[in-house]
């Protein structure tokens, strides 16, 4: 038998090198999380502040001043939200014992009902969706957030250096690779503009939706309203299911506190808010929906969630979008981007 040195047209040595590279990359993402995660967040923040920074640069004529203003405003906003969030969580934790008693009373009332001669059994469900579970989830969420905010200084340092590199890197590329600089610039311009549009649009929609959630929950008097609004903001970065998952804790608390009619109104408002922002406002801002296969998105969210937990699920989709856009802007890797697309171009295109 002849020696087999190819697998579906790919040299086995090349496939082995790719497998080793992937293994090393995954190990680096796991063990260097404290360094790589702030760097990824800094890149996304750069794409987010890039459009207003360009506007400020035209107004004041100095790029570092423009970025400095935005970084200062970002730090101030995060600090204010952190203080309010801590106070809100503390208030919610103080009400947990009372809410737990009300929850069990409501469950007992519900189990006393009969539907077509059958009683409702909620024993196994109560352990999964009780008030204690909600409190544990909120504390886990804040624990993930606290571990991330512990690296805020690292993130800001990375962001400052990325801003400085954005000004000097093009000149260095022209000097180092004069024959290839045109291709680099085409890839950077094409993917950079698309990524900036996506990150800014996604963040704007998530922020608008979370503000509406906060107003709805505050109006209804839901304990921990700011906490659930912040969770809604982060989970909105997880497509298809993130926004709906974020509505579960407020709905459970609504079940504890309200009569069926008021609870139904709360559910309708939360779901309508999520669908309005995700189904109507976002396409108007970005001009298109997220063009990535649902299976690819599911694998991305699962992979990054396995690596970095909740923050990984939030960061995984933007990273996937950046990867896909970068692949689209190089003819050699464009077929890979097409395979990741939900709506690939037709043959006529």
**Does the residue 140 lie in any domain?**
yes
Q: What is the per-residue pLDDT for 284?
A: 62
Tokens (6 digits) for 161: 């250096």
pLDDT-derived band at 213, boundaries 50, 70, 90: very high
**Does the residue 345 lie in any domain?**
no
Which residues does residue 119 pair with via DSSP β-bridges, in sequence order?
Answer: 114
**Does the residue 11 lie in any domain?**
no
Residues 6+ apart with CB under 8 A from 235: 242, 243, 245, 246, 314
Tokens (6 digits) for 272: 């309508």
**Does the residue 192 lie in any domain?**
yes
**Does the residue 5 lie in any domain?**
no
Q: Which of 110-114, 221-225, 317-321 bottoms out in mean pLDDT, i.e. has the lowest?
A: 110-114
**Does the residue 28 lie in any domain?**
no
Q: What is the per-residue pLDDT for 7?
A: 47
pLDDT mean over 172-197: 68
Return the number of other C-beta atoms located less than 10 Å from residue 134's C-beta: 25
Range of the domain at 283: 33-340
Q: What is the per-residue pLDDT for 10?
A: 44
pLDDT-derived band at 178, boundaries 50, 70, 90: confident
d(CA 96, CA 115): 31
Among residues 312, 290, 273, 304, which one has the least CA distance to residue 202? 290
**Does the residue 256 lie in any domain?**
yes
pLDDT mean over 148-158: 72
- Catalogue the long-range contacts made by 48-51 (C-beta closer than 8 Å, 24 or more residues apart): 48/196, 48/199, 48/200, 48/203, 49/74, 50/196, 51/196, 51/200
On the question of pLDDT at 31 being above 90, the answer is no
Residues 6+ apart with CB under 8 A from 88: 224, 225, 226, 227
d(CA 134, CA 245): 12
Among residues 22, 128, 24, 37, which one has the least CA distance to residue 313? 37
Q: What is the per-residue pLDDT for 146?
A: 60
pLDDT (tens digit per residue) in 269-320: 998 988 888 777 766 665 455 567 778 877 888 888 888 877 787 787 777 7
Query: How many domains are there within the chain?
Result: 1
Sign of CA dihedral 125, 300, 190, 51: positive
On the question of pLDDT at 4 being above 60, the answer is no
**Does the residue 172 lie in any domain?**
yes
Residue 281, classified by CB atoms within 10 Å of its CB into exposed (0-12), middle (13-18) or buried (19+), is middle
pLDDT mean over 22-37: 81
């Amino acid at each position: 038998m002849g020696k087999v040195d190819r697998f579906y047209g790919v040299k086995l040595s090349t496939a082995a090198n790719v497998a080793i590279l992937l293994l090393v990359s995954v190990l680096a993402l796991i063990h260097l999380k404290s360094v790589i995660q702030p760097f990824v967040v800094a890149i996304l923040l750069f794409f987010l502040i890039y459009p207003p920074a360009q506007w400020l640069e035209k107004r004041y004529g100095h790029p570092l001043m423009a970025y400095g203003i935005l970084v200062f405003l970002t730090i101030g906003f995060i600090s204010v939200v952190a203080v309010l969030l801590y106070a809100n969580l503390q208030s919610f934790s103080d009400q947990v014992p009372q809410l737990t008693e009300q929850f069990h009373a409501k469950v007992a009332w519900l189990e006393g009902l009969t539907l077509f001669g059958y009683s409702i059994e909620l024993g196994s469900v109560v352990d999964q969706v009780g008030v204690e579970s909600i409190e544990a989830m909120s504390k886990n969420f804040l624990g993930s957030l606290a571990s991330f905010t512990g690296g805020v200084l690292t993130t800001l340092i990375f962001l400052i250096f990325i801003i400085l590199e954005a000004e000097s890197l093009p000149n260095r590329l022209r000097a180092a690779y004069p024959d290839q600089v045109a291709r680099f610039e085409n890839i950077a311009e094409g993917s950079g503009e698309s990524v900036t549009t996506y990150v800014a649009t996604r963040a704007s929609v998530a922020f608008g939706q979370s503000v509406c959630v906060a107003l709805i929950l505050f109006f209804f008097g839901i304990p921990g309203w700011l906490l659930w609004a912040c969770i809604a903001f982060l989970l909105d970065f997880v497509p298809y299911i993130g926004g709906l998952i974020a509505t579960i804790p407020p709905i459970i608390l609504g079940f504890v506190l309200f009569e069926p009619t008021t609870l139904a109104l709360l559910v309708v408002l939360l779901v309508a808010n999520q669908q309005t922002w995700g189904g109507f406002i976002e396409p108007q801002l970005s001009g298109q929906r997220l063009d990535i296969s649902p299976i690819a998105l599911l694998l991305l969210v699962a992979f990054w969630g396995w690596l970095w937990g909740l923050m990984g699920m939030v960061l995984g989709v933007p990273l996937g979008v950046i990867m896909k856009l970068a692949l689209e802007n190089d003819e050699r890797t464009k077929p890979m981007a097409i395979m990741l697309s939900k709506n690939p171009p037709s043959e006529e295109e």
